[in-house]
Amino acid sequence: MRIACLLADGFEDSEFRDPYDSFLFAGHEVLVIGSEARQELKGKKGRERFTTDKSIAEVRPEEFDALFIPGGHSPDKLRGDPRFVEFTKGFARKPIFAICHGPQLLMTADMVKGKTLTAWKTVQSDLRHTGAHVVDREVVVDGNLVTSRMPDDIDAFTRESLKLLVNGRTSVSEQRR
């Protein structure tokens, strides 16, 4: 499966690196997409640095099977750019994995109303105000959406995300046959 990861400076280091490495280890391709291609991004704790693979201008949702949105300050920055919001909307029927502040981007894309999900404690109230059913659990799966609250939840988040990739939709390459 081909996974799009949306990322900006200030991402939560472990919420990006741990799932990213797990997706790769499981045999999935992960492309990191930022506002510019080959842009170096830094994690908010300074432990991780990553250079984007593509810019948002170079990609389309139909090229990917799933969307991964790590937390930290990154989702709030991304949702201020309408290109990232529109790209996110293209995953309405595909697997989406959002941890911590990741659901902020989904909220801006009007994709949370009626969904059951979780997020970082300060984001939970905002989600309720936009029509989401919010629960405070380490991981929540609602159809094609997997959400978690914080770095302590990464193992559960990654486990359920990988399950959805295996049991979920067919890949883009299989759909083209």
Per-residue confidence (pLDDT) for residue 167, from 0 to 100: 81
pTM, full prediction:
0.93
3-state secondary structure 12-73: CHHHHHHHHHHHHHCCCEEEEEECCCCCEEEECCCCCEEECCEEHHHCCHHHCCEEEECCEC
Q: Which residues are tagged catalytic?
A: 100
Helix (H, G, I), strand (E, B) or coil at 148: strand
Which pLDDT tens digit goes with each residue over 124-171? 999 999 999 999 999 999 999 999 999 999 999 999 999 999 886 433
- Domain 2-169 CATH class label: alpha beta
Per-residue confidence (pLDDT) for residue 94, from 0 to 100: 97
Annotate 89-145 with DSSP letters as a single string: HTTTTS-EEEETTTHHHHHHTT--TT-EE---HHHHHHHHHTT-EE--SS-EEETTE
Per-residue confidence (pLDDT) for residue 156, from 0 to 100: 98
Residues of the chain with pLDDT under 50: 169-177
